[in-house]
């Protein structure tokens, strides 16, 4: 029978619990309680666990229950815990106000992928997820997604588990030491040639895609930033774009190249400065850029720069991962960088224009004048002619 005792030396204000261990030894443990009734409740929980251990019936779940009961006695509240499903839902709710819509969509993809993989196990507590589970999950993802996407989702979940540790829900990050997937078939993307860009523009016609391509080419910005650009970022009088990048949150000031300036002058400017330059593209790419990327790929197919995808030809179905493409919207960024360097523009100015952090910029330039950047852009060919 468990019992409680005061420290005979009077050095501790807490009661000690006396109970018998599974091997028959008598043990004395501090209850961390100065109240007699609470100390006795803790002592009884110690004895309960010891009895189950002696009978070889102490399972992992039972041990957790004992700890939870002791925690409740000590703190007058339940032990912080959460199922995988519950935690990821609350984590996503918090991230919704901390990250961009595109990033939140990726976070949601990662959470949904893990819940799908776990099935009913998603309703178990977080500490049920082991490193072996994570490795199996990684392999499962790698069979469905490209290596880059697989690794991104794993890094996102590692961040979620790290937050759970900070919140006191976990003692170890099962995702923290997982090895990433190696990509042995990485497709090297290249810049578009001048002729290829003209073929792309011809296929764009008078749709918004003509403006998206011109803006991507002459500003070097990512598809998401281009699609969500608003009129308040455009200063036609000064001939500049002023905005904050979505990925790096870097403030950008980019002079408008003459072909791009001329195109923007033809667009009807709305009364609302927060209106998007390209309403349809902004709506389609509000949460993620993949629908826009697919549309651009169709343009590449029509221009003869990509091969049409057919699920039937591979026999792998829609769930199978796809091979990477050498050409994509991001290649417009490479095109701008290549053209600038071929025109003799310094590497620091080229990197500043496209928004790359550069050691050369921080070392040699405190500020690159807009006129200097405009002069660099004016060296580029006019793809509209």
Q: What is the DSSP letter of 244?
A: E
Together in a domain, 334 and 227: yes
The residue ranking higher by pLDDT, 72 or 14, is 14
Together in a domain, 151 and 273: no
184 found inside a domain: no
Contacts of 301 (CB under 8 A, 6+ apart): 307, 308
**384 within domain boundaries:** no
Residues 6+ apart with CB under 8 A from 78: 68, 71, 72
Q: Which domain holds residue 352?
A: 194-308+324-377
Report the distance separating Cα 381 and Cα 285, nearest Å: 29
Considering only residues 42 and 65, tell me which one the structure prediction assigns the higher pLDDT.
Answer: 42
Report whether 46 contacts 17 (CB < 8 A).
Answer: yes
SS3 339: helix
Q: Are residues 221 and 120 in the same domain?
A: no
pLDDT in tens, 274-318: 999 999 999 988 878 889 999 999 999 999 998 887 655 444 444
* Higher per-residue pLDDT: 74 or 40: 40
Identify which of 328, 243, 223 has the alpha carbon closest to the alpha carbon of residue 285: 223
The CATH number of residue 125's host domain is 1.10.150
Whether residue 158 is found in the same domain as residue 53: no
User: Which alpha helices (DSSP H) does the chain contain, by range?
Assistant: 36-54, 60-75, 84-95, 101-118, 131-142, 147-166, 194-204, 208-219, 223-227, 258-265, 279-284, 290-302, 311-314, 331-342, 347-354, 359-364, 370-377
* CA–CA distance, 266 with 206 (Å, rounded to integer): 11
Q: Give the tens place of pLDDT for each residue, 138-182.
A: 999 998 888 888 999 999 999 999 988 887 777 789 998 889 988
106, part of any domain: yes
Reported confidence tier of residue 325, pLDDT bands at 50, 70, 90: low
Residue where a domain stops, chosen among 75, 94, 119:
75
Q: Are residues 57 and 155 in the same domain?
A: no
The answer to whether position 44 is within a domain reads yes
Q: Which of 27-36, 189-198, 360-369 has the highest mean pLDDT?
A: 189-198
Q: What's the confidence (pLDDT) of residue 355? A: 76
Higher model confidence: residue 71 or residue 10? 10
**231, 347: one domain:** yes
Domain boundary among 30, 52, 75: 75
More confident: 48 or 203: 203
Nearest to 251 by CA among 352, 172, 323: 352
C-alpha to C-alpha distance for 109 and 156, rounded to whole angstroms: 10
Confidence label for 111 from pLDDT (cuts 50, 70 and 90): very high
pLDDT band at 78 (very low <50, low <70, confident <90, very high): very low
Chain segment 244-258, per-residue pLDDT in tens? 888 778 888 999 999
Pairwise CA distance, residues 64 & 60, whole Å: 6
User: Distance between CA 180 and CA 178 in Å, rounded?
Assistant: 6
- Asked if residue 236 belongs to a domain, the reply is yes
CATH number of the domain encompassing residue 261: 1.10.443.10
Residue of higher predicted confidence among 267 and 9: 267
Verify that 264 and 211 share a domain, yes or no.
Answer: yes
110-134 per-residue burial string, b: 16 or more CB within 10 A, e: under 16: bbebbbebbeeebeebbbbbeeebb
Quick check: 101 and 287 in contact, CB under 8 A?
yes
Are 119 and 68 within one domain? no
Residues 60 and 90 in one domain: no
Task: Please tell me whether residues 358 and 211 are part of one structural domain.
Answer: yes
Is 176 domain-assigned?
A: no
Co-location of 354 and 251 in the same domain: yes
Task: Determine, yes or no, domain membership for 382.
Answer: no
In a domain, 333, yes or no: yes
* Sign for the pseudo-dihedral over CA of 363, 366, 369, 373: positive
Beta-carbon contacts of 158 under 8 Å, excluding residues fewer than 6 positions away, are 173, 175, 176, 178
Q: How far is CA 166 from the centre of its chain?
A: 19
CB neighbours of 31 closer than 8 A, spacing ≥ 6?
4, 14, 15, 16, 17, 38, 39, 42, 43
Report the domain count for the chain: 3
My answer on whether 70 and 103 are in the same domain is no
Tell me which of 50, 75, 100 is where a domain ends: 75
Residues 112 and 100: beta-carbon distance below 8 Å? no
């Amino acid at each position: 029978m468990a019992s409680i005792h005061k420290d005979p030396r009077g050095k501790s204000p807490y009661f000690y619990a006396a109970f018998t261990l599974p091997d028959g030894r008598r043990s004395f443990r501090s209850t961390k309680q100065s109240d007699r009734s609470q100390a006795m409740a803790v002592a009884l929980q110690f004895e309960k666990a010891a009895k189950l251990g002696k009978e070889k019936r102490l399972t992992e779940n039972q041990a957790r229950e004992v700890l939870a009961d002791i925690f409740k006695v000590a703190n007058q509240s339940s032990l912080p815990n959460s199922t995988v499903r519950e935690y990821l839902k609350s984590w996503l709710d918090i991230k919704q106000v901390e990250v961009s819509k595109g990033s939140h969509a990726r976070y949601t993809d990662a959470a949904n992928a893990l819940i799908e993989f776990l099935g009913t196990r998603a309703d178990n507590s977080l500490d049920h997820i082991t490193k072996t589970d994570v490795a199996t999950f990684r392999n499962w993802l790698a069979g469905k997604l490209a290596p880059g996407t697989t690794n991104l989702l794993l890094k996102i979940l590692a961040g979620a588990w790290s937050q759970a540790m900070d919140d006191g829900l976990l003692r170890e990050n099962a995702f923290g030491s997982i090895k990433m997937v190696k990509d042995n078939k990485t497709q090297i993307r290249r810049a578009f040639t001048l002729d290829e860009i003209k073929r792309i523009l011809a296929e764009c016609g008078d749709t918004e895609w003509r403006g998206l391509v011109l803006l991507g080419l002459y500003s070097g910005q990512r598809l998401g930033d281009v699609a969500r650009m608003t009129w308040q970022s455009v200063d036609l009088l000064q001939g500049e774009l002023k905005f904050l990048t979505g990925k790096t949150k870097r403030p950008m000031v980019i002079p408008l190249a003459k072909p791009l300036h001329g195109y923007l002058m033809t667009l009807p400017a709305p009364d609302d400065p927060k209106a998007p330059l390209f309403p349809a593209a902004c709506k389609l790419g509000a949460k993620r850029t993949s629908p826009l990327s697919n549309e651009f790929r169709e343009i590449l197919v029509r221009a003869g720069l990509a091969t049409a995808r057919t699920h039937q030809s591979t026999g792998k179905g829609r769930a199978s991962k796809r091979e990477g493409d050498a050409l994509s919207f991001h290649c417009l960024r490479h095109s701008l960088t290549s053209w600038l360097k071929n025109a003799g523009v310094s590497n620091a100015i080229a990197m500043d224009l496209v928004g790359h952090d550069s050691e050369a910029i921080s070392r040699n330039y405190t500020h690159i004048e807009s006129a200097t950047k405009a002069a660099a852009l004016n060296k580029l060919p006019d793809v509209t002619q």
